[in-house]
Chains A and B, each alone.
Chain A
Amino acid sequence: MSVIVLVEHTEGNIKKKSFEAVQYAAHIAQQTGTTATAVVLGSIADAEMEALGNYGAKKVVHIADDRFNELHARAYTSALIKVAQAGESKIIVTLYDINGRAVAPRVAVQLKAGIVAGALSYPDIDNGFVIKKAVFSGKAFAFVNVVSDKKVIMLMPNTFPLVKTDGKASIEKLDISFTEKDFGIKVTAVNKVVGEIPLSDATLVVSGGRGMKGPENWGLIENLAKELGAATACSRPVADAHWRPHHEHVGQTGGTVRPDLYIAVGISGAIQHLAGVNGSKTIVVINTDPEAPFFKAANYGVVGDAMTVLPRLTEAVKKFKQHK
């Protein structure tokens, strides 16, 4: 009956957001009087998996098949179904991210389970199985009741802060057989951005807009990002003008970010841009135009020219870090 949670890792390192997912699953397990079982796929050391116990997993099921190092959603699905069936599980948790979104719906169909995509709360089990999620690109929240017996939840990353415990998890190795169908998609090339923090995972983001005037000024954004340990992003006009690569574009038609801190520099704050960033916990807006609509959505505002404000802010961060 345990709550199953899918764990993601990058080359053997468990992602922070997967600890969040495990902690979330453990909380639901507690609510429903059971335990959480983490499922880890691909090449990873036992020592790394043991850390999952710190976030509430009682058991880790590891399927070491190295084909899992790439996302093969149907194989992932088979693995999760196998574990779920073995434990007669009714609740499956994944992240609401690229991998989770490829796998969870398949699992749901096989289990005939309702899905919550992008959970922002624990289930309210006193009134059914009701979970809050963002709708209309963050302009509203919906309370979704899962009416089916089995439930699949995709947790929105960076929703609950991590709390480390000294819990322990047992690790169980599992071997399962796959069909050819499970690996129908052949990956012919992978191009990972190395050394940079993936935007969707970043907890701190520095983002530039048209107010940066040109790509030659991006060093100012990068310096601040580097000092903060933040990822860099941009608005649509900037990506359209090819000042920055398209994968940095956040907004309605680009990526969505939900960092703890989003620093917007020279971005006016059109509704399409806000749709991609309004899940951010704290927003700082730096703009020369005091009328920029973005200030309305901001927690902190600075009216000033990015060319002078950014170096000062970078310097201030440096100073702050030295004093700590």
Chain B
Amino acid sequence: MNITGSVNAIKGGEFLVRETEADSIFIPEEWNEEQLMIAETCTNFLAQHVTPNLTRIDEQEEGLMPHLMEEAGALGLLGISIPEEYGGFGKDFTTSMLVTEKLGAGNSFSVAFSAHTGIGTLPILYYGNAEQKQKYIPKLASGEWKGAYCLTEPGAGSDANSGKARAKLSADGKHYLITGQKMWITNAGFADIFTVFAKIDDDENLSAFIVEKNFEGLSLNPEEHKMGIKGSSTRQVFFNDCKVPVENLLSERQNGFKIAVNILNLGRIKLGGGTVGASKEVITMAVRYANEREQFGRAISKYGAIRHKLAQQAIRTYGSESAIYRASQNMEEATEQFVASGMDEIKAKLKGTEQFAIEAALIKVHASETLDYVVDEGVQIYGGMGYSAEAPMDRAYRDSRINRIFEGTNEINRMLMVDMMLKRALKGELDLMGPAQAVAGELTSIPDFAAAEEEGLFSKEKKYIKGFKKAILMVAGAAVQKLMTQLGKEQEVLMCLADMLMELYVSESTQLRVEKLVGMRGEEACKEQLDIMRVYINDAAENILKSGKEAINSFADGDEKRMMLMGLKRFTKTEDINTIQARRNIAAKLITENKYCF
């Protein structure tokens, strides 16, 4: 396999064909004192202002959510990564991710927070001109004004560019008149500023506009009744010849779709951060409950079936988290490189994020599905109380579900991952062909059994991960060859490839994180993390094998199929480990610490 030892920083998607050094990734154990203080402020904010009020929030008590946003603004939490000249604190991307993670445990508040600081603020910050930024950003950063984002329409969800909203210039040329209907608009009920997407006249692409709530022609429907995140304001917003001054066109005409896509890239990885924060909180609740609840005379945390669940919740969360901070730092570094090469800072930020859009999509899917797993088992650990609306698991369970739907459904994101990967290969940005051919060659050659086994704490896992990469290259390469242009329509195959990519990235991120951590703290202090890594990779191998088989069986046959299946088995072969014991060790640590502690 052709793995280049280039000194260049890793590019987005390159994880499939390149090895990464553990020392080059960022791990959450490296937070500095200031970042830890910021995290503590977030945790205290939730504990004092949000958690005690969750019921009132879910009842949408008049004025409560905007008030909480203002409180968060007063603490500076709405302006973490906004430049200081616009009233923010100019912190880097990983710090804002940390804040997103910590506040992610705040149920509906988290949704309002993320929408405001992400899609509510960033389009103006990244694409606004100096006047627009000066006018809107400081007030958004302080929480005086709240932001919302109007993209989705009743007939245009995943296919955003197909929206019907239209804008036309007024007779005097001073206003755009927007007409249309926007749906599922988070924060709509109390937002002061809406970023609205509509096509001007018969344009092919969307344009974006900054619309203030008092502009003539804007009206709101009542609150939607939702399964979860009931405290989050979600309404339809109507634009009826809504008068928007021409100077409120955001960026250039027809640039709206690009804005929407780029903001979504950021939104996806941020959603990953938020859901990891929620997962950790739910695990903590589950551990505490399991330690308190007694059945047959013993705390239920003493039973293996419960321990398995607790460990599995933690393993998956740890995996998501490792991936998120690795990718966040990659984005940060890519941005810095673009800036160093003379690019404008905000443009560099967008490019840096876009560069890692594959990872962002993958993280969104993994972390949201992890949270859904965590809350589901959380309910199970709570038993009957889990089903009671009086206990907190009920809310956690319902609130989790939306994460697999918004910011691009997980299906859309799975397809995007593979699509972007292949497109980059086609454009020559990513060399998949060479490595894929090398793997194909390896299939027909006799395996080199004599090759010396490397010794070392992580040598096995590193070998497995190399195998995972080969497995994906083999299946993807064959799929492209076999299905050619049909591949885009074979969504089931795309789903399989996406799942394989996801397992690879999270396995590798987890392995690198634990390797770096052992370097920092020594092996003895990282026993449970090593178990987490081993179990994760063990299960990932099985998942990759399963997805790979499913894909191969759909498009290959005869000798070729047999050969590929054999190769797949070889590339996903791992030594048997005692996963039951490993999970017990992980659970024991959770139970002793009485909280999520990794």
Contacts and interface: CB of A to CB of B under 8 A. Distances in A.
A296 B292 CA distance: 9
Interface string B212-250: 000000000000000000000000000000000000000
Contacts, number: 5
Contacts of B293: 291
Contacts of B292: 291, 293, 296
Interface in B230-283: none
B53 to A, nearest CB: 13
B288 to A, nearest CB: 9
Interface in A262-296: 291, 293, 296
Nearest to A240: B52
Nearest to B385: A291
Contacts of A293: 292
B49 to A, nearest CB: 14
Nearest to A292: B292
Contacts of A296: 292
Nearest to A296: B292
Nearest to B390: A289
A66 to B, nearest CB: 48
A293 B292 CA distance: 7
Contacts of A291: 292-293, 385
A206 to B, nearest CB: 25
Interface in B287-318: 292-293
B28 to A, nearest CB: 27
A310 B385 CA distance: 27
Contacts of B385: 291
Nearest to A289: B390
A38 B385 CA distance: 59
Nearest to B52: A237
A119 B157 CA distance: 70
A190 to B, nearest CB: 35
A303 to B, nearest CB: 14
A127 to B, nearest CB: 33
A20 to B, nearest CB: 37
Nearest to B288: A293
A291 B293 CA distance: 7
A296 B288 CA distance: 14
A110 B385 CA distance: 60
B483 to A, nearest CB: 55
A257 to B, nearest CB: 25
B460 to A, nearest CB: 43
A242 to B, nearest CB: 16
Interface string B21-49: 00000000000000000000000000000
A163 to B, nearest CB: 41
A215 to B, nearest CB: 19
A213 to B, nearest CB: 15
A288 to B, nearest CB: 11
A293 B293 CA distance: 9
A291 B385 CA distance: 10
A291 B292 CA distance: 8
A108 B293 CA distance: 48
A252 to B, nearest CB: 15
A293 B288 CA distance: 11
A145 to B, nearest CB: 32
A263 B293 CA distance: 23
A293 B294 CA distance: 11
A291 B384 CA distance: 12
B298 to A, nearest CB: 14
A317 B30 CA distance: 60
A158 to B, nearest CB: 30
Interface string B383-412: 001000000000000000000000000000
A3 B385 CA distance: 59
B532 to A, nearest CB: 28
A134 B385 CA distance: 37
A157 B155 CA distance: 74
Nearest to B293: A291
B387 to A, nearest CB: 15
A247 B135 CA distance: 50
A270 B515 CA distance: 38
A207 B78 CA distance: 41
A51 to B, nearest CB: 48
B301 to A, nearest CB: 14
Nearest to B291: A293
A6 to B, nearest CB: 41
A217 to B, nearest CB: 20
A201 B176 CA distance: 75
Interface string B113-155: 0000000000000000000000000000000000000000000
B292 to A, nearest CB: 6
A322 B541 CA distance: 76
A293 B385 CA distance: 15
A291 B290 CA distance: 11
A177 B98 CA distance: 65
A284 B293 CA distance: 20
A53 B293 CA distance: 53
Interface in A294-308: 296
A114 B385 CA distance: 53
Interface string B363-393: 0000000000000000000000100000000
A287 to B, nearest CB: 13
A293 B594 CA distance: 14
A291 B288 CA distance: 12
A237 to B, nearest CB: 9
A292 to B, nearest CB: 9
A296 B299 CA distance: 12
3 shortest interchain CB distances as A-B pairs: A293-B292, A291-B293, A291-B292
5 contacts: A291-B292, A291-B293, A291-B385, A293-B292, A296-B292
